[in-house]
Amino acid sequence: MNASLLLCLVIGIADGDTLTARCGQPGAYEQIKVRLGAIDAPERQQPFSQQSRQKLSSLAFGKQVGLDCPRKDRYGRHVCTVMVPPAGAPDDRPVVDAGLVMVRSGMAWWYRGYAREQTPQARERYAAAEREAQTRRLGLWADPAPMPPWEWRKTNRAARASTADPS
């Protein structure tokens, strides 16, 4: 395990790519919002949103995770690689990349717009995981025309803007 990882307890799951963690020592906890780096999960109104949230919950909720957070996003969330304990061993060291598991299981897209923030090896793993999920039609890839969340948000912003009252 990377010695620079911050160890935290996951206390909430907002959706398939956002969680709340409690970090620090008893009496000096800091609660932080975490956006999983390199992935984008379905929005609440999209197909597979609930399944994506449930998958992240099964991976991380109530578990000690390792966070590597190189930056914050425009909403103030920490953008992190989230390492979780191996499946079936919730008390083990957090050594499994939760984002990669989300992509591999078809519960999130690899967010190529931020690929430059990943190492070449991580980009390769994420690309292969997404290809495998697509080939096996896992999760959101079972949909005949899955719409990536970034496109869905753009489409819905445009639709809201066109229906807004101009006065």
Query: Which residues are marked as active site?
Result: 35, 43, 77
CA 22-60-75 angle, to 5 degrees, is: 55
DSSP notation for the chain: --TTPEEEEEEEEEETTEEEEEESSTTS-EEEEEEETTEEPPPTTSTTHHHHHHHHHHHHTTSEEEEEEEEE-TTSPEEEEEEEPPTT-TTS---EEHHHHHHHTTSSEE-GGGGGGS-HHHHHHHHHHHHHHHHHT-GGGGSSS---HHHHHHHHHHHHHHHS---
In the numeric block, the tokens 């229906």 are attached to: 163
Name the phi and psi angles at 95, rounded to 5: -130, 0
